[in-house]
Amino acid sequence: MNLSGAPSSPLPDNKPEAAQREIVLVTGISGSGKSVALHALEDAGFFCIDNLPPELLRDFLRLRYAHLVNRVAIAVDVRSAGSLPHLLPLMKQLSQEGVRVRSIFLDASTDALVRRFSETRRPHPLSQSAEHRHAEDTGFTIPADLDHGIADDGHRALIDAIELERELLSELREASTVIDTSQLRPAQLRIWIRDLMSASGNRLTLVFESFAFKHGVPLDADFVFDVRVLPNPHYIPELRPQDGRDAPVVAYLEAQSEVGEMLEQIDAFLTRWLPAFNRDQRSYLTVAIGCTGGQHRSVYLVETLARRFAKRTVTLVRHRELDARN
């Protein structure tokens, strides 16, 4: 069914390339890095288009596939708010027609977003007054219960606009693989997008991510384990400049019984529940492990767990703080 309610014809399937068709939906909070992600997908061989109205998606795909372009990435944001409720059913329908559908949602902390908008001096898409965002302009009217925080001069305070956008996109976020870009540089985000694309497959992908609690918990985490209670190599002068991948730090942590016990308990928890997430047809599951500085303990546990689970499913490794230094 198309967005007007009329039956829609399936995409043509008369070419051998049809089984390889793939669409990546890139969405998220304004200022979280969608343009960077789209450029990364373009570098990976996807035909990319920004802010395509969902009403035109099926016709656009039919045109691209007719020209043997089978890998397509579409960026959609809150500017298409009027059509967003129809987007998820459409993506589900395309999946049922044999198109491989993946959705990536980019998010960031409100503080990081405010800083980015302040640096670029660009207005937030929802910062316009409500009177200018009526159905004639966008096909969408801000619901009365969400239309709060309008300043006397007709412009929404930036923080209120960000929070409103979170509410409007909450269903898309729930159905997507989330990447928290709060601490990421553009080059780092491009690498993470590339890694997600290379991990394609029908099995669940486990993403193990180390982080520092002092910089905040990753917004994309499905599970968070706090390992700050473990012995800290930071207090050993010769280990302080190293990280959890270096042999001396590994040897030190492996000699601590508490570290081994924590490792086995996290392993047992994930082993117990991984089949359930597979049955739930989850594509990605992010396991975030945090310590104080994101350098020693969390890095060691992430590396060790990733090696263990790589024998059972696809795994990816992220070190948020260490990657940010490179």
For 5-33, what is the mean pLDDT?
A: 67
- The three-state secondary structure class of 303 is helix
- pTM here? 0.74
Q: What does the pLDDT read at residue 281?
A: 73
Q: Tens digits of per-residue pLDDT, 76-91?
A: 888 776 677 778 888 8
Q: Which of 42-51, 92-101, 125-134, 306-315 has the lowest mean pLDDT?
A: 125-134
The per-residue pLDDT for 216 is 92
Sign for the pseudo-dihedral over CA of 33, 39, 44, 45: positive
Select, from the ranges 4-8, 118-122, 259-263, the one with the highest average predicted confidence (pLDDT): 259-263
Distance CA 140, CA 118 (A): 27
Position 153 scores a pLDDT of 39
Look at 134-148, 199-213, 254-268 and tell me which has the smallest mean pLDDT.
134-148
Q: Which of 32-46, 56-70, 149-163 has the highest mean pLDDT?
A: 32-46
- pLDDT band of residue 11 (cuts 50, 70, 90) is low
Q: What band does 112 get if pLDDT is binned at 50, 70 and 90?
A: very high
Residue 181: per-residue pLDDT? 94
% of the chain at pLDDT higher than 70: 83
Q: How confident is the model at residue 295, as a pLDDT?
A: 97
Strands 223-226 and 177-180 turn out to be unpaired
Altogether, the residues listed in the chain come to a count of 326
Give the tens place of pLDDT for each residue, 184-195.
Answer: 899 999 999 988
Domains and CATH numbers, the chain: 16-194 (3.40.50.300), 202-325 (no CATH)
Decide which of 177 and 16 is more confident: 177
Please state, in angstroms and rounded to a whole number, the distance separating the CA atoms of residues 77 and 85: 12
Does residue 7 register a pLDDT over 50? no
3-state helix, strand, coil in the chain (%, to 5): 45, 15, 35
Instruction: Give me the pLDDT at residue 141, please.
Output: 46
Which residue, among 272, 279, 180, 293, has the nearest Cα to 230 in the 3D structure? Answer: 293
pLDDT value for 227: 98
* The pLDDT of residue 81: 65
Mean pLDDT across 254-282: 93
Phi/psi for 228 (5° steps) reads -70, -15
Helix (H) or strand (E) holding 289: strand 284-291
pLDDT band, residue 305 (cuts 50/70/90) = very high
Q: What is the mean pLDDT of the chain?
A: 83
Tell me how far apart the alpha carbons of residues 184 and 188 are, in angstroms, rounded to a whole number. 6
256: pLDDT strictly greater than 60: yes
- Collapse the DSSP code of 284 into the 3-class scheme (helix H, G, I; strand E, B; otherwise coil) and give the result: strand
